[in-house]
């Protein structure tokens, strides 16, 4: 292959990789948009009569769980987008496996607006919160699969993962996020009030766990931030 043909091939491959990233960004953006679209504006009338200010305030107050669900899911989607953005900062090539792993991530992400609406409407039901937790766990697991796959140097899909300690740090981060969400879903199966409340707040464990990993794999954090600045 001539040098010019090789350059054209490399440029086209880079363009295809950018297409995958842009498509992923679009799905993330649509998922965030659908989160708020799921919150329905109160009807202008009740039984043919216009709403009074008091009735409108009451109906808006009933939507508070939906706004809480929106803010929580928005923060989660934003976090997963940041992870996706940083990981793809290391990726220099792709293959069919990476494409389908990325599609798996987007598939689980696209369900989140429905799951958020479900848990906002039926947050007191363990099944609803268990569904929501499983959805988040699947998003985290999909992210783990992508990181585990591209971080292996022998596949030649990325640069910056040569350090074994850094590879382990990246995998551990995504694994524990998924594990904690799945653990929340498992706790919902017991249908015991105290355990049900723990299930709803167990996601808070993510923050100390990530902090512990950051301290343990101190070498990895410097490279992670460097990649995020690309």
What does 91-139 look like in DSSP terms, one character per residue? B----HHHHHHHHHHHHHHHTHHHHHHHHHHSTTSHHHHHHHHHHHHHH
The predicted model gives 109-114 an average pLDDT of: 96
| Cα(46)–Cα(141) distance, integer angstroms | 45
- Residues 81-111: pLDDT tens digits? 999 999 999 999 999 999 999 999 999 999 9
Sign of CA dihedral 188, 193, 199, 200: positive
pLDDT at 228: 45
The predicted model gives 63-80 an average pLDDT of: 91
Q: Rounded to the nearest 5°, which phi and psi values hold at 130?
A: -65, -40
pLDDT reading at 209 higher than 70: yes
pLDDT at 50: 76
pLDDT reading at 229 higher than 50: no
pLDDT at 20: 93
> CB of 141 within 8 A of CB of 89?
no
Domain of residue 92: give its range: 3-228
Domain count, the chain: 1
| Cα(135)–Cα(76) distance, integer angstroms | 11
Write down the residue that tokens 């293959």 correspond to. 95
Residue 179 Cα to chain centre, angstroms: 13
pLDDT at 56: 80
pLDDT at 58: 83
Higher pLDDT, 105 or 48: 105
Mean pLDDT computed over every residue of the chain:
87
Residue 48 Ramachandran class (φ > 0 left, ψ -120 to 50 alpha, else beta): left
Per-residue confidence band for 11, with pLDDT thresholds at 50, 70 and 90? low
- Residues 154-178: pLDDT tens digits? 999 999 898 889 999 999 999 999 9
Per-residue confidence band for 221, with pLDDT thresholds at 50, 70 and 90? very low
Per-residue confidence band for 46, with pLDDT thresholds at 50, 70 and 90? low
The percent of residues in the chain predicted with pLDDT above 90, rounded, is: 66
Q: What is the pTM of this model?
A: 0.85
| Cα(202)–Cα(187) distance, integer angstroms | 9
pLDDT reading at 186 higher than 60: yes
């Amino acid at each position: 292959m001539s040098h010019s043909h090789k350059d054209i091939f490399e440029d086209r491959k880079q363009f295809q990789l950018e297409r995958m990233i842009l498509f992923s960004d679009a799905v993330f953006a649509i998922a965030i948009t659908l989160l708020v679209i799921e919150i329905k504006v109160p009807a202008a009338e009740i039984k043919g009569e216009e709403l009074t200010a008091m009735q409108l305030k009451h109906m808006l107050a009933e939507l508070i769980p939906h706004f809480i669900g929106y803010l929580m899911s928005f923060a989660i989607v934003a976090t997963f987008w940041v992870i996706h953005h940083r990981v793809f900062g290391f990726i220099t090539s792709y293959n069919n496996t990476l494409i389908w792993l990325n599609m798996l991530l987007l598939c689980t992400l696209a369900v989140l607006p429905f799951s958020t609406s479900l848990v906002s409407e039926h947050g007191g039901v363990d099944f609803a919160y268990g569904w929501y937790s499983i959805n988040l766990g699947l998003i985290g697991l999909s992210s783990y699969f992508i990181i585990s796959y591209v971080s292996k140097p022998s596949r030649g899909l990325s640069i910056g993962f040569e350090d074994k300690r850094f590879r382990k740090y990246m995998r551990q981060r995504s694994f524990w996020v998924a594990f904690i969400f799945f653990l929340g879903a498992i706790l919902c199966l017991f249908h015991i009030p105290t355990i049900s409340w723990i299930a709803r707040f167990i996601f808070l464990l993510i923050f100390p766990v990530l902090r512990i990993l950051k301290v343990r794999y101190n070498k990895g954090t410097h490279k992670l931030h460097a990649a995020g600045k690309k």
